[in-house]
Amino acid sequence: MTKQKYDSLMSNAKDYIMILIGLMIYAVGFSAFILPHGIVIGGMAGLGTLVYFATNTFVPVAVTMYGVNLMLVIGGYKLLGRTFTIRTVFGATGVSLFVGLIEGYFTSHPPLIADTAMSIVLGGILCGFGIGTIYIHNGTSGGSDIIAAMITKVSNVSVGRILMAVDMTIVALTFFLPFDGDMEARIQESIPRIIYGWVTIFIYSHITDMIINTNRQATQFIIFSQKWAEIADSINNDAHRGVTVIDGMGWYSKHEVKVLLVWCRKIESVTIFRIIKSIDNNAFITQSNANGVYGKGFDTMRVKMDKHKKQNSNTESPKTTD
């Protein structure tokens, strides 16, 4: 086995392990803190909750989640492609299994946190951590993601709008669950539950975005030092980060200077500072956040090119100037 294949295999194995951890965190957040209070959230978990209460707890949430996810995957296989389908089946199977294993216990016992508001906040945070962990490792738990992926294949509607519309609609269907009482009593009972569901969506969506953006966040350094060569060598050898050297001029002194540009992960910024200080304590440094650095050593651009544009770019000859 070549080193490249080995690295690819280990990377995929790490992704699947982290996806499983994310699925477990999501399942605990939903089953232990949201479902026991009868709150409907977005995605297939929300749809499963609707069926669960509509059938008087006869059909488990996990069964509906898995069944609907499989139907969506089968129906959208041609649009979604093989890789997305495999990861979706893996994620949908994992989340349904974890929810199925623990939902019975938590729905048959009093809620861990009696206060509904506090419980859904904690549940939303855990769900957000779980979803964020799944996403940054190229995974998906299915549900609304499948619908969004299929719609974006045939239209220009943004993924965020699709997910929001689907999730908000699922939560709003709480109003039509079986209820013993008149319309006024139904409104008084359903509206708070709907609001709790929408608040939960906002919480886990925010946490998910935070996890994804934190993982992508990088730091940019601009360094001015007379010992620029030593600093550049040390960053290359000790921090294992690339350095770009730019020619510049101090306009006040009219002296030529060398400017170092360095990009690194946010957690590596302390290492860069220590390297600079150990070599030149008088170096002039600026540091700024770079939300998204793509290329070797950082993130990979996962933007799919339009087939027509891709074919045109491949057939066009490069322009030259005399």
134 vs 131: CA distance, rounded Å:
5
Specify the pLDDT at position 50.
Answer: 95
144 vs 162: CA distance, rounded Å:
8
**Could you give the residue ranges of the DSSP H alpha helices within the chain?**
3-33, 43-54, 61-75, 77-80, 82-107, 116-136, 144-154, 159-172, 183-216, 228-234, 269-279, 307-315
C-alpha angle with apex 72: 9 to 31, nearest 5 degrees? 80
Are 98 and 171 within 8 A, CB to CB? no
Specify the pLDDT at position 179.
Answer: 84
Neighbours of 7 (CB within 10 A): 10
Specify the pLDDT at position 322.
Answer: 41
316 vs 209: CA distance, rounded Å:
38
39 vs 296: CA distance, rounded Å:
44
Q: What is the pLDDT along the chain (322 residues), one digit of tens a residue?
A: 666 566 667 777 888 899 999 999 999 999 999 999 999 998 899 999 999 999 999 999 999 999 999 988 888 777 777 777 888 889 999 999 999 999 999 999 999 999 999 999 999 999 999 988 888 887 888 877 777 767 766 666 655 677 788 889 999 999 999 888 889 899 999 999 999 999 999 999 889 888 877 766 788 999 999 999 999 999 999 888 899 999 999 888 888 999 999 988 877 888 898 899 899 999 999 988 876 677 666 666 655 555 555 555 455 544 444 4
59 — phi, psi (to 5°)?
Answer: -95, 115
Neighbours of 145 (CB within 10 A): 27
pTM of the model as a whole: 0.73
Helix, strand or coil for residue 42?
coil
